[in-house]
A and B are shown apart, each in its own frame.
Chain A
């Protein structure tokens, strides 16, 4: 699929979920960074634009579809759950890069067994039970799940081999009560649904703590235009992220020496943004440390110290773009080596 259209002006395709809370949250995330993903010509059209970013287009499809298209290289950047990435993409780390966790869409993929199995608390217990199960029942344990690959990897790590996966499309948590399975692997947010179905999560049965991620495809056709558009988008996201988690602290201490700047760095994790004429200093400090830094600057002889929230902190070389460029260079190398 890569390279179907590999002309230099191949646009950057940014995919966002097409419905529900995941869409709301994803669009809010982009909006915070000043990026507006707009669906063109009515809600039925699944294509759109990223306003203000030349060379980028938006795509609105389901999270599952976003994952598949990231893997095949039809989408450059997308918002999807880590659970889907790990389940749907074989050898995920070679095909995509998880650029940033987004703080929403949190859910755990867990192994849950009937509460009545009071002798089973850990995966080791489960391995032991699976060992005796066939001898007793003439069949292996049955595990209902949508997460077939994730389950297989996790069970193999715990030396459980004799079991069968029962494909589940609907309400997985109901399968044990309905007699279709003995236990399940499913996604849960609070565990309430599991409890309501008489199931419990094993002590070491959390396979993955998942949340929505900004994900980049390493197999997409990364033209010059697509790279530039990605740089613009990622620098805005990084700028918003840094601004949101930091505060600008300004003060004019009695002694604006290098030594004082060094102390501010060590004590408060602050970085110097600017040294203005007349000895005015401007720092960027982590949100939690900003007030303490301001207080300390007053103690160092500054008549006032101010602390404010910035909208964006753009940097020449932001962390997200750097990571993406590094991974793209890496995968290009390994491709040309035929690995």
Chain B
């Protein structure tokens, strides 16, 4: 297939869309003007820096559509979300730094055969990218569900669990997270921690309440004395540090990188040696890899990393990105996506709804020449 290098962004977008529509997905084009709050709630205040914001007459914050996934998910919820459904989109999104950027993509909701759906979305995204004239791509894969299962099996104190949730951000971040904080709330807090050492949560709560009462502090702000006490107790467990073997295990887990089959073998070996039951998560992993291979994609050319970090943290399972095979790993991806089973519930659904999607950054397809 020969592709003229100077295709316009509109032509590329049309080509990607045509590939998606061939699959019989329904087209959705949410409004350009969107309420800003829902994006900030889901994606964090950090995201504000990327939004083109404005205000309506009543003071409500609006933004130019920065992303398709959330509006399409809301639209699906609004229609009842009874049956599985799949949607495609293609049009401009607006982000500071990118400006007006054409994006095409798809979202699949409600499919219970998750691993097959994961593979299908990845395959379609890569095929649409090829149809739109993308350069040869190199895909990176991650799996937030596997990481979740691994951390669950470690039986960590809640505070360590919370810290390590952010471990999917590269080796540098991991070293920082694993380090036991040298300072425990300065000198003053150390006394409280010592006093709390042998107390249970009821005793700790009572102590914090008494401390506040003695200091004449009326409780304001959204945290109760019980929560504060609980955090003191957690700090005490943080001060003890992670057991050396847990720490070593965390480091080897997050060090695993490789083609999916090799990574799976390494993970099974690690699970066996550490006597962790990751059977279910790894079976899903292998099943997904088989579906990907069955689509005719070359698994050996893909790279899986346990420490795959995504800027968006609502992903709950499979995650992927693809970059120009001739470029570097820190270049922005040409396409990205993943599974986000918890998002619809956080947007108002009564239960988790399986969801997986992908987006093509059409504006990056010509190597930044346009």
Which B residues lie within 8 Å of A116 (CB)?
A: 212, 217-221, 223, 225, 228
Which B residues lie within 8 Å of A73 (CB)?
A: none
Q: Are A117 and B186 in contact (CB under 8 A)?
A: no
Q: How far is the CA of A161 from the CA of B158 in the complex (A)?
A: 19
- The answer, yes or no, to whether B332 is at the interface (CB within 8 Å) is no
Are A115 and B48 CB-contacts (below 8 A) given A132-B162, A203-B186? no
Q: Are B162 and A161 in contact (CB under 8 A)?
A: no
**Chain B: interface residue count, which band?**
35 or more
Question: From A124, which residue of chain B is reached at the shortest CB distance?
Answer: B181
Which A residues lie within 8 Å of B225 (CB)?
A: 116
A162-190 at interface with B (beta carbon < 8 Å)? 162-165, 167, 176-177, 179, 182-183
Which B residues lie within 8 Å of A132 (CB)?
A: 158, 162, 231
Which of B158, B188, B192, B228 has the most A CB atoms < 10 Å from its CB?
A: B228
Q: Are B220 and A114 in contact (CB under 8 A)?
A: yes
Question: From A184, which residue of chain B is reached at the shortest CB distance?
Answer: B221
Are A118 and B45 CB-contacts (below 8 A) given A113-B221, A182-B223, A198-B217? no
Q: Are A117 and B221 in contact (CB under 8 A)?
A: yes
Q: Are B46 and A139 in contact (CB under 8 A)?
A: no
- The answer, yes or no, to whether A125 is at the interface (CB within 8 Å) is yes
Question: From B223, which residue of chain A is reached at the shortest CB distance?
Answer: A117
Are A161 and B48 CB-contacts (below 8 A) given A114-B220, A119-B235, A136-B227? no
CB distance from A317 to the nearest CB of B (A): 40
Which A residues lie within 8 Å of B192 (CB)?
A: 118
Which B residues lie within 8 Å of A86 (CB)?
A: none
Q: Are A164 and B41 in contact (CB under 8 A)?
A: yes
Which B residues lie within 8 Å of A161 (CB)?
A: 44-46
Which B residues lie within 8 Å of A129 (CB)?
A: 223, 231
Secondary structure class of chain A's binding surface, majority of residues: mixed
Question: From B208, which residue of chain A is reached at the shortest CB distance?
Answer: A118
Question: From A113, which residue of chain B is reached at the shortest CB distance?
Answer: B221
CB distance from B368 to the nearest CB of A (A): 15
Q: How far is the CA of A116 from the CA of B219 in the complex (A)?
A: 5
* Residue in A133, A139, A159, A163 whose beta carbon sits within 8 Å of that of B45 in the complex: A163
- The answer, yes or no, to whether B294 is at the interface (CB within 8 Å) is no
* Residue in A139, A149, A176 whose beta carbon sits within 8 Å of that of B41 in the complex: A139
Q: Are A198 and B220 in contact (CB under 8 A)?
A: yes
Q: Are A152 and B49 in contact (CB under 8 A)?
A: yes
CB distance from A119 to the nearest CB of B (A): 5
Are A119 and B221 CB-contacts (below 8 A) given A139-B41, A152-B45? no
* Residue in B45, B166, B227 whose beta carbon sits within 8 Å of that of A155 in the complex: B45
Q: Are A164 and B40 in contact (CB under 8 A)?
A: yes
Question: From A182, which residue of chain B is reached at the shortest CB distance?
Answer: B222
Q: Are B228 and A183 in contact (CB under 8 A)?
A: no
- The answer, yes or no, to whether A47 is at the interface (CB within 8 Å) is no
- The answer, yes or no, to whether B159 is at the interface (CB within 8 Å) is yes
Which A residues lie within 8 Å of B49 (CB)?
A: 149, 152
Chain A 97-141: CB-based contact to B (< 8 A → 1; otherwise 0): 000000000000000011111110110110011011100110111
Q: How far is the CA of A148 from the CA of B218 in the complex (A)?
A: 28
Which B residues lie within 8 Å of A115 (CB)?
A: 215, 217, 220
Question: From B53, which residue of chain A is reached at the shortest CB distance?
Answer: A148
12 CB contacts below 8 A, A to B, read A114-B219, A116-B219, A117-B221, A119-B185, A121-B189, A122-B185, A124-B181, A128-B163, A139-B41, A155-B45, A179-B222, A183-B221
Known A114-B223, A129-B223; further 16 A-B contacts with Cβ < 8 A: A114-B220, A114-B221, A116-B219, A116-B221, A116-B225, A118-B208, A119-B232, A122-B185, A128-B162, A129-B231, A137-B222, A149-B49, A159-B166, A167-B61, A176-B221, A198-B217
Residues of B bordering A, CB below 8 Å: 40-41, 44-46, 48-49, 61, 158-159, 162-163, 165-166, 181, 185-186, 188-189, 192, 208, 211-212, 215, 217-223, 225, 227-228, 231-232, 235
